[in-house]
Every structure is written in structure tokens, then in C-alpha cells.
Structure 1
Amino acid sequence: MLTILTPTIMLFPTLWLVPSKYLWTSALAHTLMIAIFSFTLFNQTADTGWTFLSPFMATDPLSTPLLVLTCWLLPLMVLASQNHTASEPVSRQRTFLSLLASLQLFLILAFSATEVLMFYVMFEATLIPTLILITRWGNQAERLNAGTYFLFYTLAGSLPLLIALLTLHNHTGTLSFFTLHFSPSMTLHLYGDKLWWAACMIAFLVKMPLYGAHLWLPKAHVEAPVAGSMVLAAVLLKLGGYGMMRVIVMLDPLTNELSYPFIILALWGVIMAGSICLRQADLKSLIAYSSVSHMGLVTAGILIQTPWAFTGALILMISHGLTSSALFCLANTNYERTHSRTMVLARGMQTALPLMASWWFIATLANLALPPLPNLMGEIMIITSIFKWSSWSLALTGVGTLITAAYSLHMFLTSQHGPVPHHMMALPPSHSREHLLLALHLLPLLLLVMKPELVWGWVM
């Protein structure tokens, strides 16, 4: 654990003291080293399932894949942002990289926290660097509006969670993940108890986001720079799923009754978000709404609470993190050349950038869950679990997967095929930096096919 925590802390002096001509090289080398060190977490499972650093920090098979994903994403964000920030003064480039490093530090502390309150503090702390990234380095004039949506949606959802956690501590005397399982379950009969359950869940459902509380997500994604979109899609949405998996075990007597409307809303959200994707003109907005659709499936899987559903939810979270991050990188390569996110104005890219079209093809197939990719494995496990819960749900999940395939193919065909518009004749070629970036996204996805037990969690 210290092998990734200490280098992450030491990244801050490195970024501010290194000469400006070596800034991006040293940042990339340093973050890549942290990412490689993080793989050692995979083979440290103790008999209890927990691997200790201290009483307040430990990892288990649920948090390890998400920790490794967090560490793997930082060098990719550094690679993707190099062109975006090249024209800025060096001090601003250092600040930008420091924000990314602070985001990684908070996420490592959140995923390895053994105290619920420490997890809550780190869960909230990730807001600050993300908000600065959106409002300072965003592309459009709407970025302040997007930052406000992002901040207030998340805060409005998470303040009831703080009160609920303090109530829980008052009742059980502990907030440690180790001992909460063994504390006596609360007698939950009153309406106030049902409000307590809702307060525990709503913060994570907003962060996921559940359809209905999702309005902050497309705005934040569309206005954020490429690094902001990558970390939002790949890791910050997963904080909500991870928090739900940890907390839902403590809410057991009530969850069986109260989760029904949320499961139905999540499955309805899969269809609605997918339908919205079908008529999006903005490329980044389409990818953002597809995240809402996929996370609806994850939410339903977690709320059902069967071992298969939990496993499927974790697998889908990891594979969606890599896929949607790759799609945002591809959208950014288009934007840097055409200066437009409108799909109709930037079509026929296969003729102009043929090798980039092959990356588009692989990422699109991963997004629509082509076998044998982990995306399909996660989706099938969740859909099977939901079908076991209620056979009527097959209608919703079936239509949802059909629409997912439709909008993924629509995105690929619209952006890659057709005649090249006349205003796009002199496009710069694709760079090896961009090909490396996409290879580092999609190769782990293909390699997980060989060894899926790394992201199964502790339930199998």
C-alpha cells in the first residue's frame, strides 16, 4: 500500500521542482511507475480478505481493482492533456498536474479507507480538484454552470449521508468496516428509519448517477477538459458504486423492501438514457449519457445484493471505466483537429485518420459489450441476477441492451463514415502519443479476458 501512497505524495515536489522542459516527461514516468507498482496489490490477499497498512487503511478484493484503475488512469490523463495545456504558462501546467495528483491521492485514501467517516471525507474531497478542473480548464463558456450543477447536486445528496452516519455511530459505537457487519442490526420500523435508509443511499445514487439525479453528469462531462472527463467517467462514478457496496450490507432489513422503486428507476434509466443517446448531436454528450445508461445497470445489480449481481457490478464498473475513458480520449482527438464536437460537422474521419478509426471500432464494440470482453461478462451477470429477482425485468434489460448497441453503432457510423466535409480537408495526422494512449486503455480490457478473476471481487 505504501508503494503507491508514498510516490503519489512525492509527486507534488517533483512537479514543482523539476525543470520546465522535463515537466511532462518526468510526470509521465513518475505516474507510470506508480501504476506499475499498484499491480502488486493484486497478489496480497490475506486469509481474512483484508491487507492492512494501518487500522485506518486496508485493501480487500473489492477495493483493489478500483485502486489499480485509479493509479492506471493518472499517466493516461497526463498523456491526454499534454496537447491541451501546451500553450499555457508553465506555472499553470504545474498547477494542472498537481490537481490531477491530488485527485489520485484522495481517491487512493477513499478506496483504502476502513472507517466510513474517512471514506466520506475523501469522497467529498474529490469534489474540489474536479471542480477546479471543470471551471478553470473547461472548453466552453458554460463551464461555470456545469461546475455549479456538479457541486450542488453532490453536496445536496451527501449532507444527509453525514447525518445518517453520525446517527449510525451513535447507535453502534463504531464506524469501522471491520466491525459494522457484527454490530446488532437496527430495529427499523418507523418512518424516520426509512428516511435514514434513504439518506444513506441517496448520496451514492446521485454520484452514480441514478436516472432522475443525473442532470449534473452530461454538463460536467461536456464542459470538462479531457482529463476531467476521463477521471469523472472512469473513477469518480465508481466511488458511488463502491460506497453503495460497502454501506448496503449494513442496511439489510430495510433494503429488501425499499430498494424496489430504485431498481425500477435504474432499469428505466437504462432505456431512457439510451434513447437520449440516439438523438444526441454532441459527441461528448452522447458518451456521457451512455455512462448514465451503464451505471443504471450497475445500480440495479448492487441493490439486488446477490453474489452474482455484486460481481457483475464490479466487473462492469472496471470495464466501463476503461471503455468510456477511451471514448472520451477519441472524442478529444477529433475535437483537437476539428474544433467541434458536433458529429455531423466532423464525419468521415475514417478517410482522414484510418488508424484512429480502428481504435474507434474497438472502443465502440467494447461499449456495446461484444463477447468475450469483460463488459459483456458484467452485463450478463447483472441481467441474470435481475431476471432471477423478477422475470418481468427482462423486457427492460433486453430493450436497454438493444438501444445500447444501436447508439454505439450510430456513434461509430456517424463519426467515421460518409463524405468528409469540405472544411476538414487539411487535418493534422494522428500522433504516436495518441495511439499509445488508446492502446493503454484498450489492451488492459483485452487482457482481462484472459484473467477475469482479478476484478471478480470477494464474492466468487
Structure 2
Amino acid sequence: MLKILLPTIMLLPMTLLSPLKFIWTNATAHSLLIATLSLQWLTPTYYPHKNLTQWTGIDQISSPLLVLSCWLLPLMIMASQNHLYHEPPTRKRTFILSLITIQPFIILAFSSTELTLFYISFEATLIPTLILITRWGNQPERLSAGIYLLFYTLISSLPLLVAILYLYTQIGTLHLMMLNLTHPTLTNSWSNLLLSLALLTAFMVKAPLYGLHLWLPKAHVEAPIAGSMLLAALLLKLGGYGIMRFTTLTHPLSTNLYYPFLTLALWGALMTSSICLRQTDLKSLIAYSSVSHMGLVIAASMIQTHWSFSGAMILMISHGLTSSMLFCLANTNYERTHSRILLLTRGLQPLLPLMATWWLLANLTNMALPPTTNLMAELTIMIALFNWSMLTIILTGTATLLTASYTLFMLLMTQRGTLPNHITTIQNSNTREHLLMTLHILPLLLLILKPELISGIP
């Protein structure tokens, strides 16, 4: 654990002390080395906890997410270079520092075996994210987006703190290993129902569940590219991970809690897919599609079977890479046309033919076309939901149909059609962008060859 955490923390002094002309090269190269080193965590084992220290341990639920969070740091740094090109040196350093600061917190959140440490790192990721959105966002509305993000997350996670303290008074320990041994069997009394609800609320807002998702499109639209990638690929996954980790503590969940959350998640997948069909803003469209995909993750992790957990895990990893890639593509368009409105940035295929290939690949993975892990994830989740209740096939089937519709709509609007008159010259796509897209799509295509690495099943 420390051989990843310490180099990550040492990135901070390196960023401060690097000469300005080497700052991007150094930060990217070193974070890529850390990402490569973290791939060792993916080896599937039969042991419940690998790399176990007193406070952190890695098991099949956390290892894929940990590798994803290490993998995305160099990609976020690469994506932000053009965005920060004209900024003064101190702002560049501060930006990279705030990106690097999030990483140890996320690693601790995904690997902590102690609930207090989990809660602290879960909340600490909020501060650098808020700094990124409010300091480096594009529009003046970024302040209200930051306030939305802060208050939604804070208000929802206070019940989680109360629930953790209540668990401590009941059992006398908050260590996950001890909790698994003592198995706090919760009866259907009101206090236990409220405890389960409080445990779930914070993660449902973070995930986000439809109805509690209003902070997400605002935050995504106003955030700089690194902020969008971070939110879509990692911070939403904290919600899904929390549900998977904590619902097993309160096993089995009361049916009074199952039904509203499951219904809202599946209905939300349907509704947000419909909203995507009417979107005019490209980043907003991708943000709403995230809510739709995470709805499936929530629904799957509420059922608490091996199949559904496995499907939720694979979907979280696939969606993390896919949506991050889509945001990068939207950003390349925005940097050239300075507009996110679909009508004003259409028909770019003749001008940027290689970018059109990346658009096609990203959209096909978003639609869950074979042979991508997205397809495997959606099929696994659908089968788990269908076994639980046959009626869910109506909602999930319609949501999948709508996902295909809005993804094709996004592809056709950005790439095909007549070029708007105001676009006369456009900057060529460069090697950095192609490398960025390759590093997103390559894991997606390679993971299907050995999906047990991320399926959570040894």
C-alpha cells in the first residue's frame, strides 16, 4: 500500500520544485509510473484481504477501483495541458497540486478497513474537487455549482457519521474485519431501519440516485476537464463502492428499503436517458448519461447477490473509463469551437477525421456494444435484476434502447451534418490528445480478454 501512497504524496514536492518547462512532463511521467506500479493490485486472489495493514486492506471489491484511480491521474494531467497553457506559473502549480492531493484521499477511501478513516477520506475528496470547480471552471455559474456540490454532499453525509457512531456504540468496534466476524444482524425495528437508511443516503447522493442527482449536471458542466473526469470516473464510484461495502454489514436489508431505492434507480435510468435525447449541451448530455448508468449500479448493488455485485463492479470500471473519454472528446471540441452547444459544433468529421474515429469508439462503448466490458456488465446486471423480479426487464430494456438512441444522437450531431458557417479554421488534433484517447480505450478493450480482474469474483 505504502509503495503507491508514498510516491503519490512525493508528487507534491516534485510539482513545487520542478522547473516550469518540465512541470507537465515530470508530473505526467511520474504519475504514469505510479499507475503502472498499481497494476499489481489487479491479480485475482482467493484471500479476502491483500496488502493488509492496520488500517487499509485490498480485496476484490476495492482493487479494480484503486487501479482506476491511479490510472486516471496522469490522464487528467494530460487532458488539462491546453486548458492551462496561458495561465501564470503559480496557477499551473496549484492546479496540479490540487489534482494530486485528491489521489491519496481516494486511495484511502477505497482501501480503508476502518469506518472512521473511510468517512474522513470520503469527505476530504470534496475539498480539492470544490477548489477545481470554483477556481478553474469556465462560466460564472461555477460558484453556484460548487455550492450545490458542497451542500448536497455534506448534508447527505451527516447521517452517515451518526450511523457510524451508532454502530460503534452498538458493537464497540468499527474495523471491517471485526464487523464481518460479529455480523451486526439488524432486526426490522425502527432504529435499525433508520440506521440502514442513514448508511445508504450519503452514497445514494454521491452515486447519484435519480431525485438526488441535481448537483451532478451543474458540477459537470461548470468544472474544467480534469474536474469532469474526476467526478465521472472516480467520485461517483465512491457512492457505488460505499453501497457495496456497507449493505453487506446490514445484511439482509429491510424490504422497506429495497423497493423505493430500486424503483427510483431504474426509473431514473429511464428518465435521464429520455432527458439526454432533448439535451442541447454536450457536457450536460454526458453528465445525465452518467446518472443513467449509475442507476443500474445502484439497482444491482441493492440486490446483494454475487452476480449483481459482479455486474455493478464491471459497470463502474467500464463507465469510469467511457465517460472520462467522452468528457475528453467534448473538451477537445470545446477547445476548438469554444462552444458546448450541439447545434454550433456539428459536422466536425471532415475537419478532424481521426477524432471522429475516437468519437465512434467512445460512443460504441457507451452503447455497450460487444466486445466491450460494458456489454458484459449490463447483461450481468439485467440477468440479476430479472431473477429478482421479471418486471424489471421492461424498465432496463427501455433504458438500454434509449441509451443507444441518445448515444447515436450525440455521435451524429457532433460528427455529421453540414458544418456551421462560423467555423472557418480549426486547429488540428495533436499527439497528446490521441495518446489520451488511446490510454482510455485500450484498458476497455483489453479487459474483456480477462474480465475476472475487475469482476470481483476470484
Is TM more than 0.5 here?
A: yes
State the shift of 1:54 in Å. Answer: 1.5
Task: Name the counterpart of 1:102.
Answer: 101
Confirm or deny: 8 A CA contact 2:186 2:251 kept in the other structure: no
Distance 1:129 1:136 in 2: 10
After superposition, give the CA deviation of every residue in 1:266-299 in whole Å (9 maximum; x if it has no partner).
0000100000000000000000000000000000
Task: Name the counterpart of 2:112.
Answer: 113
State the shift of 1:422 in Å. Answer: 1.3
After superposition, give the CA deviation of every residue in 1:123-175 in whole Å (9 maximum; x if it has no partner).
00000000000000001110000000000000111000000110001101111
Output aligned runs, 1:249-288, within 5 Å: 249-288=248-287
Aligned AA (1:32): L
Which segment is superposed worse, 254-263 or 300-309? Answer: 254-263
Confirm or deny: 8 A CA contact 1:277 1:289 kept in the other structure: yes
Which segment is superposed worse, 251-260 or 129-138? Answer: 251-260
Confirm or deny: 8 A CA contact 1:263 1:303 kept in the other structure: yes
Distance 2:58 2:253 in 1: 28
State the shift of 1:255 in Å. Answer: 3.4
State the shift of 1:189 in Å. Answer: 3.4
Aligned AA (2:18): V
Confirm or deny: 8 A CA contact 1:218 1:288 kept in the other structure: yes
State the shift of 1:43 in Å. Answer: 2.8
Aligned AA (2:116): L
Distance 1:348 1:53 in 2: 52
Aligned AA (1:433): R
Task: Name the counterpart of 2:240.
Answer: 241
Distance 1:128 1:192 in 2: 32
Matched, 1:36 2:36: yes
Specify whether residues 184 and 329 from structure 1 end up closer, same or farther in structure 2 by C-alpha distance, changes over 3 A only: closer
After superposition, give the CA deviation of every residue in 1:224-268 in whole Å (9 maximum; x if it has no partner).
000000010001100011111110011114334421111011000
Task: Name the counterpart of 2:50.
Answer: 51
Task: Name the counterpart of 1:24.
Answer: 24
Task: Name the counterpart of 1:392.
Answer: 391
Task: Name the counterpart of 1:134.
Answer: 133
Q: Normalising to structure 1: TM-score of the pair?
A: 0.98
Distance 1:324 1:189 in 2: 39
Structure 2 segments unaligned to the other structure (5+ residues): none
Matched, 1:15 2:15: yes
Task: Name the counterpart of 1:334.
Answer: 333
Which segment is superposed worse, 54-63 or 288-297? Answer: 54-63
Q: Normalising to structure 2: TM-score of the pair?
A: 0.98
Output aligned runs, 1:420-459, within 5 Å: 420-458=419-457
Q: Secondary structure at the match of 1:424?
A: coil
Confirm or deny: 8 A CA contact 2:220 2:228 kept in the other structure: yes
Distance 2:355 2:34 in 1: 28
After superposition, give the CA deviation of every residue in 1:360-387 in whole Å (9 maximum; x if it has no partner).
0000000010012000100100010000
Aligned AA (2:108): L
Confirm or deny: 8 A CA contact 1:172 1:184 kept in the other structure: no
Determine what percentage of the aligned residue pairs are the same residue.
59
Distance 1:413 1:344 in 2: 11
Q: Secondary structure at the match of 1:254?
A: coil
After superposition, give the CA deviation of every residue in 1:416-451 in whole Å (9 maximum; x if it has no partner).
000111111200100110000000000110001111
Which segment is superposed worse, 303-312 or 54-63? Answer: 54-63
Q: Secondary structure at the match of 2:57?
A: strand
Matched, 1:305 2:304: yes
Distance 1:84 1:187 in 2: 51
Task: Name the counterpart of 1:164.
Answer: 163
Cα RMSD (Å): 1.1
Distance 1:379 1:184 in 2: 31
Distance 2:198 2:275 in 1: 29
State the shift of 1:221 in Å. Answer: 0.3
Q: Secondary structure at the match of 1:54?
A: coil
Structure 1 segments unaligned to the other structure (5+ residues): none
Task: Name the counterpart of 2:291.
Answer: 292
Confirm or deny: 8 A CA contact 1:65 1:318 kept in the other structure: yes
Distance 1:79 1:184 in 2: 45
Distance 1:9 1:431 in 2: 31
Confirm or deny: 8 A CA contact 2:44 2:453 kept in the other structure: no
- What is the number of residues matched between the two proteins? 458
Aligned AA (2:206): K
Distance 2:431 2:252 in 1: 54
State the shift of 1:52 in Å. Answer: 2.7
Distance 1:348 1:78 in 2: 29
Distance 1:372 1:383 in 2: 17
Task: Name the counterpart of 2:319.
Answer: 320
Matched, 1:355 2:347: no
After superposition, give the CA deviation of every residue in 1:48-104 in whole Å (9 maximum; x if it has no partner).
321134110111111110000000000000100000011111111011001010111
Distance 1:188 1:140 in 2: 50
After superposition, give the CA deviation of every residue in 1:21-42 in whole Å (9 maximum; x if it has no partner).
1100101111101000001112
Distance 2:226 2:43 in 1: 30
